Amino acid sequence: MGSKYLIVIAGPTAVGKTDLCVELAQHFAVPVISADSRQFFKEMSIGTAKPTAAEMKSVVHYFIDSHSIAEPFNAGSYSEEALKLIDHLFTEKDYLILTGGSGLYIKAVCEGFDEMPEVEEETRSQLVSELSDKGLSPLLEELKVSDPVYYEQVDKSNHQRILRALEVIRSTGIPFSFYRKNEKASRNFEIIKIGLERPREELYERINRRMDLMLEAGLEAEVKALIPYKNMNALQTVGYKEVFDFFDGIYEREEMIRLLKRNSRRYAKRQLTWFKKDKEYHWFNPAQKAEIIDFIKAESGMLKT
């Protein structure tokens, strides 16, 4: 059996990942695996820019509407499920496409965790609140159960280290001690990493337009239906927090729209910063479809066969 290739298509929000991936999937006759940390959830559609019904019909997509927001699901559980799926799909395919803008989720699949991930500010705030209300003992018990290795190592009077470990564990579902190994996991497939980018002004205009289209499609109604879940981590994200705050009367609708666009642009900048740190990515404009196909063929040796 020859080598198997996971083609990673990454980039910021609204850059054009979905359209390109559909075209690549059709060209190579392969499915698409989503690594978008919000498209998993059935209840979040408009604000996550999921593939359209037509795109889903033309190409098989995995991890779209695969989970409920009521289920605990994070980078750790995603990587476990995704790697099992990838192994299964590689029994029939030589190529697969993994795509998304969630760097931590892509990293989890490609190499595991060899550095501390970023965590949501809400997770940190919740732990601080619990420490204040109940003291350190319940948090130590949680650490003992969720990461006995680090529990044995940590100074049990150092609440800052205990909080740091728990915020990582709660955010990712993976023991804190695992990250401290600083080891890159081996994979039984090859990985081709492609990053997508556009000129900044063009990207920002696409983001602004996307937010307008989301609002026209009923983003506010979608968020209103999610109010009972508003404190869940999955909803502490750009595109939802701003609308929740509007419903809470924190600001007017015009300000909500401005913040939706501004925060989405800032999020795109953070995404690019994350991906640019990984020197294994090769960068293209999404319009360079032919060049991307040729690059994939060259990297995988397909051109030699």
**pLDDT at residue 1 in the model:** 44
The pLDDT value given to residue 216: 97
Instruction: Report the number of secondary-structure helices (H) and strands (E) in the chain.
Output: 14, 6
Q: What is the span of the domain harbouring residue 76?
A: 5-112+184-304
- Residue 12 pLDDT: 97
Averaged pLDDT of the chain: 91
Domain co-membership, 72 together with 93: yes
In this structure, the answer to whether residues 191 and 274 fall within a common structural domain is: yes
Q: What is the DSSP letter of 29?
A: T
Beta bridge partners of 61: 32
- 16-40 pLDDT, tens digit each: 999 999 999 999 999 999 999 899 9
Domain identity same for 235 and 97: yes
* SS3 category, 11: coil
CA distance 198 to 91: 35
CATH code at position 135: 1.10.20.140
Q: CA-CA distance, 102 to 142, in Å (whole number)?
A: 27
Q: Are residues 21 and 157 in the same domain?
A: no
Mean pLDDT of 126-145: 91
Paired tokens of 297: 């063929």
pLDDT of 212-235, one tens digit each? 999 999 999 999 999 998 877 778
Please state the rounded mean pLDDT for residues 88-107.
Answer: 95
Q: Which two tokens stand for residue 170?
A: 């709660």
- Tally of domains in the chain: 2
pLDDT in tens, 165-216: 999 999 888 888 887 765 678 899 999 999 999 999 999 999 999 999 999 9
Q: What is the CATH number of the domain that holds 55?
A: 3.40.50.300
Q: Kindly state whether residues 193 and 259 are assigned to the same domain.
A: yes
pTM: 0.80
Q: Which residues of 240-251 are buried (b: 16+ CB within 10 A; e: fewer)?
A: bbbbbebeeeee
